Chain A
Amino acid sequence: MSSNFRSWPMTLLLGFLSLPIIVMMVYLFVDTVTDTTAGSLIPDRFTLEHWRFLFDAPQAGRSNIWSVTLNTFIFACSTSAIVVMTSLTSGYALSRLNMPYRRLLLGGVLTLHAFPTVTLIISIFLMLQMTGLYNSLLGVILVKTALELPLGIWVMKGFYDTVPWEIEMAGLTDGASRFTVWRRLVLPQVHPGLAALGLFSFLAAWSEYILPQVLAPDGASQVLATYLQNLIKDDRAPDFNMFKSVGLFYAMPVMIIYLIFNQKLMNIYGGGTKG
């Protein structure tokens, strides 16, 4: 930045305000591998017993953490994949192609973009029931996709908008069809959007709680969010540190993605913030 302003007052202030999050995160890590006497903040011994849940057989009537994790992975990956693929085509159509009802569709996407469908969950349940997808992971995936899609389309449209028209024009005059132009010339230009969107929808699905809880309560399709919440809600449950261990285990992929792709995530609105 410019040399005319000092930055340390800002650093101090921000550091202070960030304390809650920092404290939460630090203790999230520390508490999973230590024991602390009640009423104290300083851990007094190292232990791995809070991680037992990874290896112990699940208690009767509870799900196995590994199958739950697998479910969560399937859920997040499929959602992310579908969202990305669908947004890639739809975003392009809305951004670049002459087609009937383009304005209407665009307005519709914008409306949906700002309108989470969680409130419609009863009817969504019914739709799933009609299509036989209730209580299955696939159903939750589709619903989550529908929820994320408007944002995805809008983000991708934003990224497509930034691709110079001349590249497409050049492609056309070079003899390529619209489809080839999209696949060979335009797609490679929207990589950042693709990555950001993919990551974001992965994280969104990974974190989703309400949908799986309502739409797939069955043990076979349980995900980590419901697993953890059920554990927390158990009013005669064991120690908090174990929740944290499960929580950390749950958040691990998020943190990894976050550490590696931090910059990419920040790109999510790179395609322009207006609208």
Chain B
Amino acid sequence: MRRAHLLGLGFMTPALIIVFLFFLAPVVLTAVFSFTSMSSGTGISGGAYEINEQTLRSLTDRGFPKAKSEKLGHDLYRIGEEGLGAVEADFGKAFADEIRAELSGELFEGRRDLERELKKLRSRPRSIRDLKKAADLFKRSVLNTRFESETAFLDGVGETGVELTADDQAVLVKTAYTGWSWTTANYELITSMASTWRAAKNTAFYVLLTLSFNVGFGLFLAITTFYLPKGQAAIFRAIWILPRILPPVLYVMMWKWLTWDTGFLSIFLSNFGVEPRNWMLNSDINAWVCIVLINGFVGASLGMILFSSALRAIPPSMLAASEVDGANRWQQIRHILLPQLQWPILFTTSYQTLSLLTSFDYIYLSTDGGPGRSTEVWALYTFHTALNNYGGVLQYGLGAALALVLVVIGIAASLFYLRLFKFNELVSQPRIEQ
């Protein structure tokens, strides 16, 4: 390998590591997760095996023999030698002897009852926790016990004396497992749920509308400031770059201040007899207008920067030429400026399409999808599903599947744009051949 190769790869390494860790690996993980039933109920790292009331009911539903499940459902504590030996080892002979004397051979249904008996003993451990531990040593059932591994679980079940057929065992293990499992259900859900379709529709609507605003208004800003004297142009550009650089939280807060029913608009308009109202959330239409404006201003800033620099690159003599040729301002814009902006417009369009598809901060902070989910876009829907909802049940698996849809769309779109931008022409060969 040539020296420049090594230098090049060396130069790329930091970026490659970061991109690998926080982009590529997550993409792969997302793909994996999307085929699991992972949620905050199953945990991410894996589950345990446990039989409880809920499991017992499910077992019956799944055709597990009722007799056996009833047996498994008994929470039994028997004072026997085995337990006494353990108590003696852990808590001393005095306690063990006392238990032997008072309770030997007794059977308790549930730990609480045993605990109460133990509490009466004189040589009981002082800590309530130890008392409970001691009680546990007499446990002769598996109900409500968490086993970390399948074998431990089956051993435990075996000790209760419940005989299992292979079928029974399979059902039991499956039902008792609290962790996640592999499934394609997420994708079935996505296609079958009305809410995903609504999110998809919202997304299309949002992207289309905001994009048109971004590009249209960005163009408008770039062109108008282009015609203004230097000083004025600088001031307006400065004003319009603000939405992009102000922190979203603050920026959205200012919008809320503007649109809330006690906000600027309401107060201002009340002078003209308009009822105060929440201009942002008053209706779907208002919400959409706000969303589009909030995001649109931000996007227009970017458009303005890009378009302005493209306009600055137009040789002044070309403008002079068109004026000498008799073009008025509109004709100049139409025939000279706009055609020059073809590439920047295309670039902005593609870049913004993807950004709009996948980012949701501003919606999250402003309407959070409301009113009534009417502004909930796919990315936000994904976020809500996977990480952020009132019920607190975070469906990682479903969320991942939803995210993966976006990833796929994003990559497909990027590839399309790469072609559109004639990527091959962009990668010119280095002119130094070392």
Contacts and interface: CB of A to CB of B under 8 A. Distances in A.
B235 to A, nearest CB: 9
A270 B238 contact: no
Interface string B230-274: 001010111111110111111001111110001010011010000
Interface in A118-145: 118-124, 126-127, 131, 142-143, 145
Contacts of B355: 114, 116
A70 interface: no
Contact of B305 (A113, A143, A210, A266): A266
A127 B224 contact: no
A236 interface: no
B419 to A, nearest CB: 11
A215 to B, nearest CB: 11
Residue of B237, B319, B403 with most chain A CB atoms under a 10 A cut-off: B403
Residue of B236, B246, B308, B410 with most chain A CB atoms under a 10 A cut-off: B246
Contacts of B390: none
A65 interface: no
B14 A85 contact: yes
B386 interface: yes
Contacts of A100: 1, 5, 9
Given A24-B257, A89-B11, A114-B350, A266 B18 contact: no
B306 interface: yes
Nearest to B293: A20
A178 B418 contact: no
Interface of A: 1-2, 4-5, 7, 10-11, 13-14, 18, 20-25, 27-28, 38-41, 82, 85-87, 89-90, 92-94, 96-100, 102-103, 105-108, 110-124, 126-127, 131, 142-143, 145-147, 149-150, 153, 165, 168-169, 172, 178-179, 203, 206-207, 209-210, 214, 224-225, 228-229, 232, 240, 243-244, 247, 250-251, 254, 258, 262, 265-266, 268-270, 273-275
Contacts of A210: 361, 364
Interface of B is mostly: helix
A105 B16 CA distance: 9
B314 interface: no
Nearest to B262: A38
A254 B329 contact: no
A96 B18 CA distance: 21
Given A18-B240, A228-B249, A274-B421, A146 B224 contact: no
A38 B354 CA distance: 42
A119 B403 contact: yes
A250 to B, nearest CB: 6
A102 B2 CA distance: 14
A71 B9 CA distance: 33
B305 A209 contact: no
B433 A98 contact: yes
Contacts of A209: 247-249, 361, 365
B44 A126 contact: yes
Given A117-B22, A165-B432, A266-B308, 10 more contacts: A2-B320, A7-B232, A23-B264, A115-B354, A118-B358, A122-B403, A168-B432, A244-B253, A273-B306, A275-B347
A254 B5 CA distance: 40
Given A7-B229, A97-B430, A110-B414, A20 B15 contact: no
The 4 residue pairs across chains A and B that have the minimum distance between CB atoms: A99-B8, A146-B22, A123-B26, A97-B8
Interface stretch (B27-35, B94-102, B207-215): B27-35
Given A85-B14, A97-B8, A14 B225 contact: yes
Contacts of B1: 100
Interface string B409-423: 011011101100101
Contacts of A94: 12
Contacts of A124: 22, 26
